[in-house]
Chains A and B, each alone.
Chain A
Amino acid sequence: MLKSDTWRAVLVSVSLLVIFLGLWQLSTPAPQAEEALSEYELLMGGADQEARVPSPSEIIGLAIRELSNPFYDAGPNDKGIGIQLAWSLYRVLTGFGLAALIALPLGFLIGMSPMMYKALNPFIQVLKPISPLAWMPLALFIIKDSETSSIFVIFICSIWPMLINTAFGVAGVRKDWVNVARTHELGPMQTAFQVILPAAAPTILTGMRISIGIAWLVIVAAEMLVGGTGIGYYVWNEWNNLDLTSVIFSILMIGIVGMLLDLALASATRLVTYQE
């Protein structure tokens, strides 16, 4: 029953993809032959000068070329997709990691102490809805380094879901479990690590999963702003080159990497999830 359902779902997915790509392919005219180019067009560097939505087959061709040598480096404006993605991942993971270093202990504190919750709640409520990119000018001015600034932006956008979920998870730990820790004379640290952390872990990891999703959304925009390296810069750069094939290819890569990040956090969540 279930198994045949899965197969049917796969079949539907694949046929949708084939239909979509087929229609797309049919609706995009084949590139004109080389001879048809005028002198002017040749001067300007090719037929693609007139922006044209590429066909799927062109994108697949580019993907094969790019992915077979993802880490080539031919100057500041021509780096492989792997290098660009690695830069973005580095920034996301650094900002995310720093945010976790602060959000998790702070979330524990807020979750365990209703007083601290009340004291910090106004700040959280005001800071949370600010678009992370709004911080960019301030960050650039104060930090004076575009690299660190984009990491800061990632940090500021990924801290809130982690902080709030950690506080929520810790505050919601069943009182009975805390009492069991107390009757076993566990110290505060032991209680935090042996009882509260495993009890709140699913909620905390859900927060981390939301955070990394947001961070990946934000890094593209941040890199478009500050430029230099990264997948966001790459997209923008290819747009400036009017190379829509590369733009679409990198959009796909952004989606795939984002999905992988989410999958990683999802399986980590599954590891710590327990059934009551």
Chain B
Amino acid sequence: MQPHFLEIKSLAKRFPTKDGELTVFEDVSFGLERGEFVCIIGHSGCGKSTILNVLAGLDAPSDGEVLMAGKEVRGPALERGIVFQNYSLFPWLSALNNVIFGVAARWPGWSKTRVREHSLRYLHMVGLKDGAEQRKPSQLSGGMRQRVAIARAFAIEPKLLLLDEPFGALDALTRGTIQDELLKICAETHQTVFMITHDVDEAILLADRILLMTNGPQARIAESVRVSIDRPRERGSIVHDPGYYPIRTHLVDFLVSRSHELSGSANSGAPGSGHQGPPRIVDPAQAARGASNAKDKASSNAIAQATSHTAGHSTSNANSATGYRAAESGSLLRAVNL
């Protein structure tokens, strides 16, 4: 098997506390391919930011290793761009100078004008223009600040882009527009992205794959959910895709019930009793399609809504092809009936 572009091998992070050690997560293994957009979803405090910091090289893992293009990640580097959970722009620099800061660090040999032009191009790409680029972050709206942070990360053209809940603090409308821009930019640049989010719909819209993380402590990545919905995707029309609701239901069900059931702490007493190795691969959309085909060859998109509701029952037939296991179908049904 060919190694992944980004390879995470049995990663663990423990923090020392007053009463012993706190294992935030352990046994985390997964891979990312070049050009792939992967989201990770999990409850607050399960350790998503901690994983991202390890991937970035800002934090050392307690166990395991991270390989990027075959090389071990030791310490932060310019080939991994980051957008932090809370912007982290420099408030004493204008929006443009914040981007220039990154570009000048990435290409120290470039002339001033070249750095400036390159930075401006990326600022325009995220829709910051008409004088806004000269303003300080405190004079920008939350959405504009996040655009600047995204522009700074994209402008250094990293091999891997790490996004920590980049839209968490934004209202739904702004979030939507920036998601669209991110989709567009990623389609143009084939950027490899690893993104943390709380928003199930955002994950489906953007990701090729969604990693599901169980609750902490001793969190792990339980499943890797394929989003088999064709690109280009659009916010307006993606919900009409027959694969959309099966995926969404699967994710919501995970967050509502299984994230707790599968968590390491729930299976405590017997370490290792939980899932080991790489996460299970799940493809709810494919499963739903397979199911509807099996039931009725003439089924059309018109009844997609209905099939998604029956998907829970029928996936057990289709699972061999899709990797969707019988064990999940019962709980999926529960979520569907919520």
Contacts and interface: CB of A to CB of B under 8 A. Distances in A.
A184 B102 CA distance: 7
Interface residues of B, number: 24
Interface in B74-93: 75-78, 80-82, 84, 86, 88, 90-93
A176 B88 contact: yes
A274 interface: yes
Interface string A173-212: 0101101101111100000001100110100000000000
A186 B82 CA distance: 15
B76 A274 contact: no
Contacts of B56: 183
Contacts of B156: 184
B78 A176 contact: no
Contacts of A275: 91, 136, 138
Given A179-B84, A195-B90, A199-B92, A185 B138 contact: no
Contacts of A10: none
Contacts of A174: 88
B169 interface: no
Given A177-B88, A179-B58, A274-B92, A184 B136 contact: no
- Chain B binding surface, main DSSP class: loop
Contacts of B76: 179, 182-183, 185
B92 A198 contact: yes
B106 interface: yes
Interface in A195-244: 195, 198-199, 201
Nearest to A182: B76
Nearest to A275: B138
A176 B98 CA distance: 14
Given A184-B106, A185-B105, A179 B88 contact: yes
B84 A276 contact: no
A177 B90 contact: yes
A86 interface: no
A259 interface: no
Interface residues of A, number: 19
A105 B231 CA distance: 55
Given A274-B136, A274-B138, A276-B138, A183 B92 contact: no
A198 B90 contact: yes
Contacts of B88: 174, 176-177, 179-180
Given A176-B86, A276-B138, A184 B92 contact: no
B101 A274 contact: no
A115 interface: no
Contacts of B77: 183, 185
A176 B92 CA distance: 14
A272 interface: yes
A121 B46 CA distance: 38
Contacts of A180: 82, 84, 88, 90
A184 B56 CA distance: 11
Given A179-B58, A179-B84, A186 B90 contact: no
A194 B57 CA distance: 21
Interface of B: 56-58, 75-78, 80-82, 84, 86, 88, 90-93, 101-102, 105-106, 136, 138, 156
Given A176-B84, A179-B82, 15 more contacts: A176-B86, A177-B88, A180-B82, A180-B84, A180-B88, A183-B56, A183-B78, A183-B81, A184-B101, A186-B105, A198-B92, A199-B92, A272-B92, A275-B91, A276-B138
30 contacts: A174-B88, A176-B86, A177-B88, A177-B90, A179-B84, A179-B88, A180-B90, A182-B58, A182-B75, A183-B76, A183-B77, A183-B78, A183-B80, A184-B78, A184-B101, A184-B105, A184-B106, A185-B76, A185-B78, A186-B105, A198-B92, A198-B93, A199-B92, A272-B92, A274-B91, A274-B92, A274-B138, A275-B138, A276-B91, A276-B138
Interface of A: 174, 176-177, 179-180, 182-186, 194-195, 198-199, 201, 272, 274-276
